[in-house]
Amino acid sequence: MPTAVDTSLEFHQKRIENALEQGRIQDAIALLLTLHPADRAEIFNRLDDEAQRTLLTSLDIATIADLLEELDDEEAVEAAEEIPPERLADVLDEMEPDEAADLLGDLPPEQAAEALAEMEDADEVRPLLVYPDETAGGLMTTTYIALRRHTTAAQAIEFLRQVSDRTEIPFYLFVVDKERRLVGVVDLRDLLAAAPNTEMEAIMDPEVIFVTAGTDQEEVARLMAKYDLAAIPVVDSQRRLIGVITYDDIVDVLEEEATEDIYHLASVSDEDIDPESPVKEQLKGRLPWLYLNTLTALFASWVISHFEHIIAQAAVLALFQSVVAGQGGNTASQNVAMTVRAIALGKLSPKALVRVLWKQFITGLLLGILVGSVVGIGVYFWRGNAYLSLVLGLALVGNLSVGSVVGVLVPLGLQAIGVDPALASSILVTAVTDSTGFFIFLSLAAHFLDKIVQ
């Protein structure tokens, strides 16, 4: 159901499209500028290529910079490729250094080098290009405020007034020594409450939470969430302050990491694809895992093949073997989700492994008893065979117990060998629970075969 915002954007989009079709470019720009930058980016992305080129040619530098910062990475690259190098350099100068570095890193090398050579503020952006996108260095901005220990509160406030048009007003001011080593952090509220002659050293907190440039973005997000930080400083190996990561960058990281985990749990290796992605990209991101899933399914079929004679004598078993395998898979998938989440948040330590496995085994055993009892009673009233009900109930108890343990061990095992635990867990866990479920159910059925076929 469309929201009021969606309806409003569609209305503005139609007006802008009509203005552009009639050659009233300035009217279209005026309509676009009445919107929030995020809404401008959404409407811009909906326009056809010709309309986008017209706007990029006509919009002022600051508006284009805001637009590129709001667009997704791929969309921003497509738009930037339409802008001449000299004009693109001006746009990049207007953008936040970290945003400009991200865009330059995604552009074709020749275009990026040409634009960087034309930039006035290239020295602010160039150091950021050496860091991978998914590290603290790739996320940080160099537009932060650093003060010395003996700077007074009055001097700091005056400095804030002077730089307010060149940087975001910070929640924190960072204190450094003469070697630019990070020694403390001052909360903006503490600064405003301090007497004018109070020095930073007197009001700063020397216990600063910081990360190094090579820290993974997921760990940065975890630290900022854990300590409720609006910004976190980035230091080099000598603890010299080299940048700051702000909360708005982390929101993007959380969205990216959540998307990655959801896709990986569904065995889609490329988190950038969506239903409208090119067929070639979708095949590349999905087909390998379907092949792996096919192999594991064939393995489960191989297990069943060893009991063909049992199924031939009691065809009723074919009706229920998928129940055992499916419920084991569901139980394991629940544990996979919890384990992957615990790993991501750093809540699962090796020291707790035995305790966690034992707890999950007991949980799986109880789940198996509760589910198996209900299913067994239901099947008894349906088929009227107590032994079939007993076999089915016991098989569920066994497979749910196994599934609970496997759902913890597989993600931890994948992490130990350097594989993303979300990526292959679901397929491997399904292989184990399917095969184990079939084996337990059909082995028990073989033992009670004479009673089942009566």
3-state secondary structure 135-169: EHHHHCECCCCEEECCCEHHHHHHHHHHHCCCCCC
Token pair for residue 184? Answer: 């403390």
Q: Give residue 1's pLDDT.
A: 45
Distance between first and last Cα of the chain: 56
Fold that domain 146-256 belongs to in CATH: CBS-domain (3.10.580)
Looking at domain 279-452, does it have CATH number 1.10.357.20? yes
For residue 251, give the nearest of 272, 266, 273, 231 by alpha carbon.
Answer: 231
Distance CA 169, CA 166 (A): 9
Classify 4-131 by CATH class.
mainly alpha
Query: What is the domain partition of the chain in residue ranges?
Result: 4-131, 146-256, 279-452
What's the burial of 64, exposed, middle or buried (CB within 10 Å: 0-12/13-18/19+)? buried
Lookup result for tokens 């720009």: 29
Do residues 281 and 270 make contact, with C-beta atoms less than 8 angstroms apart? yes
Task: Map tokens 């400083």 to a residue.
Answer: 233
Residues 359 and 365: their CA atoms lie apart, in Å, by 10
Residues of the chain with pLDDT under 50: 1-4
What pLDDT sits at residue 72? 83
